[in-house]
């Protein structure tokens, strides 16, 4: 069975790699909205379930007619998966063009756009992910036809090896992407899948004499499956629903402690998958006659499900890694024990039944994130959502207590566990309670906190500080608009934040559009600015909830100024899509003649500064670079036409009175001239920034230098 373990280990690695990269490539083509991300993940999981279910049916109907070694069918599936690594990026680009051609993207409403893009993504992803879903039933079929192997628990064996491969797949691609980019990582995956397919096919040739004997094949082919206990499929559905639904909540609970970078999300995924592997390994090494109704304490599972509420309590003195491990691993370990046990119990080695059982589990995995993200979190928040997901385990335990008279000791232990579970729910506190003065809003995208008083007010999204009240955000608007060769006629602000930059644009008396990804963020505008209601009510104001890049691509409008303030930190997952050459190519098309794009880069190591500067330098013939009023971060002004060289007094003279008052509202200087001069005196060149790390490539969709940095950081630490 060693060969099968190796095959499914590498297959699990590739599956996670493809899921990660396909999601990012789809985001680049169709947007980073929560709905779009959910569509991609849902169709990926749907393909897995469909492939598992359909392959099982085909094996049942036609398996006995196959005269060649069944391992060749598995080899064919892996070969097709390898081909997908090369095909999907091309198909996504074609799909993007197809959606664009549907009377133009701007002619589509948001719902119509999601329907069109979702349909295209489904048609692209489902066939390939179905091949992935088919691998376990096909592997079970090959094992069943080989008389040397025990078959009744073959699902759990393949599941175990697949999960440990997935653990590696949650880590390895992070380094591959940093070294070779997304497409390079896909080529590595294609090579591995091709190696699996070739090795599996060669293995059938080596074993041809043994496998050509009909008698042993027939003896294993006729497996008698005893009727499964009622409710097994329900339990499989519930485990998938709860686990994947909770995973969405885990991200919100732990992001304040581990950050919003790709490595933080990988930590949560690795903790879940590693614990799942341990649970599966324990099951494989335990008695094969275990009955989950007798051995698993369902109330204990409910307690473990609520552990993340305890480990994410801000009063607990733990570092971020321990918070995640202690919160996620116990529950995931039990689920890792339970899922293969239930499928083995349901299938008894039959590929058809295993395919159906696993498909039911995947159906729960599809619905869990949708219910969690779009229904529970916006309505009841993280705490009640977690409770609702563990309620089924309470119900199972209660029904068990009703049907069976348990010894007094067992009953007491169950009541104690119930008490501990309720204590975790009622006595722990959320991250938001760290802020005595706060306004908290939740939606399908994020949990948003407005806190602080006076100039110390802050905006926090999913535990990450977004911005504060600072004159830097005012200068983003005023420096850009005053630098235009002609009086500005309109402007676009991408990323609303506290609304300071948008408010500054409105002060120029021109039509302004703001695009914000998180729906709750603009609803907090009045927390930071007393005139927020008046600004939003202005006929000059136009607020859009959308992905900024997607909006730019869909809108036919052209602007004199496009002002971009991506969410911090610079390393945030997905943020590269607002710094890349491909994004700047879209923005160029939306600039009026003589228009200026302003890009704010708050921080970053030398490589990030060099990469962003190179991307802008490659995209625009004219780029000017300034330090901020507060001495950190960079204002990039980029245009297809020369940007006039003006002194501070000239810039000040071009400003309307309302705009001048707005710029001086928070200082730090006493006059407009001094305010502008403080920035103009810091001007440098893109060449200087590129020279900080001259060998780093320009930031592109395929090479998100800012997001993938661990190897670079480790190398910098080792350098003298």
Q: Is the pLDDT of residue 647 over 80?
A: yes
CB contact set of 263 (below 8 Å; sequence gap of 6+): 174, 710
Alpha carbon distance 84, 26 (integer Å):
14
Omega prior to 569 cis, within 30 of 0: yes
For 78-109, the pLDDT digits (tens) are 999 999 999 999 999 999 989 888 756 666 56
Alpha carbon distance 16, 708 (integer Å):
17
Alpha carbon distance 167, 178 (integer Å):
18
Residue 343 has a pLDDT of 86
Alpha carbon distance 503, 662 (integer Å):
9
For 559-569, the pLDDT digits (tens) are 999 999 998 88
Q: Which residue has the higher pLDDT, 508 or 720?
A: 508
Residue 230 has a pLDDT of 56
Percent of the chain with pLDDT over 70: 91
Residue 206 has a pLDDT of 80
Percent of the chain with pLDDT over 90: 67
Q: Which class in CATH covers the domain with range 229-434?
A: mainly alpha
DSSP state, 567? P
- In three state form, how does the secondary structure of 160-228 look? HHHHHHHHHHHHHHHHHHHHHHHHHHHHHHHHHHHHHHHHHHHHHHHCHHHHCCHHHHHHHHCCCCCCC
For 450-491, the pLDDT digits (tens) are 999 999 999 999 988 888 899 999 999 999 999 999 999 999
Question: Which has the minimum average pLDDT: 167-176, 203-212, 455-464, 595-604?
Answer: 203-212
Q: Band the pLDDT of 523: cuts 50, 70, 90.
A: very high
Residue 207 has a pLDDT of 64
One fold for 1-220 and 470-718: no
Q: Is the pLDDT of residue 146 over 90?
A: no
Alpha carbon distance 628, 170 (integer Å):
38
pTM for this predicted structure:
0.90
Q: Where are the domains of the chain?
A: 1-220, 229-434, 470-718
Q: Band the pLDDT of 225: cuts 50, 70, 90.
A: very low
Q: Is the pLDDT of residue 406 over 90?
A: no
CB 244 within 8 A of CB 368: yes
Q: Is the pLDDT of residue 216 over 60?
A: no
Q: Band the pLDDT of 170: cuts 50, 70, 90.
A: very high
For 360-373, the pLDDT digits (tens) are 999 999 999 999 98
DSSP state, 695? T
Q: How far is CA 550 from the centre of its chain?
A: 17
Q: Is the pLDDT of residue 181 over 60?
A: yes
CB 134 within 8 A of CB 124: no
Residue 603 has a pLDDT of 84
Q: What are the strands, taking DSSP E only, across 444-504?
A: 447-451, 458-461, 464-468, 491-494
Q: Which class in CATH covers the domain with range 470-718?
A: alpha beta
Alpha carbon distance 434, 423 (integer Å):
20
For 446-459, the pLDDT digits (tens) are 999 999 999 999 99
Residue 344 has a pLDDT of 84
Domain 1-220 has CATH 3.30.2320.50: no
Question: Which has the minimum average pLDDT: 16-20, 294-298, 477-481?
Answer: 294-298
pLDDT (average), residues 144-157: 70
Structure token pair of residue 539: 């006929």
Question: Which has the minimum average pLDDT: 202-211, 538-547, 619-628, 673-682?
Answer: 202-211
Q: What is the mean pLDDT of the chain?
A: 89
pLDDT (average), residues 281-286: 83
For 589-618, the pLDDT digits (tens) are 999 999 999 999 998 899 999 999 999 999
Q: Is the pLDDT of residue 338 over 90?
A: no
Residue 83 has a pLDDT of 96
Alpha carbon distance 620, 171 (integer Å):
36
Q: Is the pLDDT of residue 389 over 80?
A: yes
Alpha carbon distance 169, 476 (integer Å):
41
For 31-77, the pLDDT digits (tens) are 888 778 888 888 999 999 999 999 888 888 887 777 788 889 999 99
Structure token pair of residue 154: 């073959």
């Amino acid at each position: 069975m060693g060969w099968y373990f190796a095959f499914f280990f590498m297959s699990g690695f590739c599956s996670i790699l493809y899921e990660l990269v396909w999601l990012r490539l789809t985001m680049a083509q169709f947007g980073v909205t929560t709905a779009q991300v959910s569509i991609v993940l849902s169709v990926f999981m749907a393909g897995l379930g469909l492939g598992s279910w359909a392959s099982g049916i085909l094996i049942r109907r036609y398996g006995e007619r196959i005269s060649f070694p069944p391992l060749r069918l598995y080899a064919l599936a892996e070969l097709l998966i390898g081909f997908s690594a090369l095909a999907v990026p091309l198909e996504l680009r074609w799909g993007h063009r197809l959606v664009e051609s549907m009377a133009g993207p701007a002619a589509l409403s948001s719902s119509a756009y999601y329907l069109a893009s979702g349909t295209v993504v489904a048609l692209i992803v489902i066939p390939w992910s179905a091949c992935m879903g088919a691998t376990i039933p096909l592997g079970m079929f090959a094992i069943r036809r080989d008389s040397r192997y025990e078959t009744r628990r073959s699902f759990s064996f393949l599941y175990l090896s697949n999960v440990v491969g997935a653990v590696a797949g949650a880590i390895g691609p992070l380094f591959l992407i940093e070294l070779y980019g997304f497409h390079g990582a896909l080529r590595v995956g294609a090579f591995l899948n091709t190696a699996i397919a070739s090795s599996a096919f060669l293995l059938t040739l080596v074993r041809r004499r043994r496998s050509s004997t009909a008698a042993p094949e027939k003896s294993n082919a006729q497996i008698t499956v005893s009727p499964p206990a009622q409710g097994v499929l329900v339990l499989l559905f519930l485990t998938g629903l709860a686990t994947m639904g909770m995973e969405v909540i885990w991200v919100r609970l732990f992001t304040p402690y581990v950050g919003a970078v790709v490595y933080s999300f990988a930590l949560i995924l690795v903790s879940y998958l590693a614990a799942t592997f341990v649970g599966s390994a324990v099951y494989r090494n335990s008695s094969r006659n275990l009955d989950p109704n007798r051995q698993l304490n369902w109330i204990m599972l409910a307690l473990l499900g609520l552990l993340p509420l305890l480990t994410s309590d801000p009063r607990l003195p733990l570092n971020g890694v321990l918070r995640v491990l202690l919160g996620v691993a116990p529950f995931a370990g039990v689920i890792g024990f339970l899922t293969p046990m239930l499928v083995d119990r349901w299938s008894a080695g039959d590929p058809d039944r295993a395919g159906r059982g696993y498909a039911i589990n995947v159906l729960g995995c599809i619905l869990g994130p949708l219910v969690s993200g779009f229904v529970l979190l916006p309505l009841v928040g993280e705490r009640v959502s977690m409770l609702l997901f563990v309620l089924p385990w309470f119900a199972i335990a209660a029904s068990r207590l009703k049907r069976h008279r348990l010894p007094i000791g067992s009953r007491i232990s169950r009541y104690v566990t119930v008490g501990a579970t309720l204590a975790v729910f009622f006595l722990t506190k959320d991250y938001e309670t760290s802020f005595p003065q706060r306004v908290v809003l939740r939606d399908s995208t994020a949990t948003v906190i407005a806190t602080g008083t006076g100039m110390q007010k802050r905006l926090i999204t999913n535990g990450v500080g977004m911005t504060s009240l600072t004159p830097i955000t005012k200068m983003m608007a005023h420096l850009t608009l005053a630098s235009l060769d002609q009086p500005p006629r309109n402007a676009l602000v991408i990323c609303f934040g506290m609304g300071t930059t948008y408010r500054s644009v409105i002060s120029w008396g021109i039509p302004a559009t703001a695009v914000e990804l998180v729906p709750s963020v603009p609803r907090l505008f009045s927390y930071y600015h007393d005139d927020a209601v008046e600004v939003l009510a202005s006929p000059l104001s136009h607020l859009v909830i959308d992905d900024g890049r997607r909006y730019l691509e869909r809108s036919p409008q052209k602007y004199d100024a496009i002002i971009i303030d991506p969410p911090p930190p610079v390393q945030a997952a997905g943020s590269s899509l607002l710094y890349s050459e491909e994004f700047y190519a879209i923005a160029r098309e939306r600039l009026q003649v003589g228009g200026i794009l302003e890009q704010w880069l708050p921080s970053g190591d030398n490589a990030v500064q060099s990469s962003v500067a190179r991307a802008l330098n490659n995209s625009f013939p004219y780029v000017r670079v300034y330090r901020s009023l507060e001495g950190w971060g960079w204002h990039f002004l980029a245009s297809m036409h020369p940007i006039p060289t003006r002194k501070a007094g000239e810039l000040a003279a071009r400003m309307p009175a309302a705009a001048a008052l707005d710029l001086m509202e928070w200082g730090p200087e006493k006059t407009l001239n001094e305010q502008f001069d403080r920035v103009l005196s810091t001007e440098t060149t893109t060449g200087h920034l590129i020279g900080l790390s001259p060998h780093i490539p320009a930031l592109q969709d395929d090479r998100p230098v800012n997001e993938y940095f661990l190897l670079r950081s480790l190398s910098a630490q080792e350098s003298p």
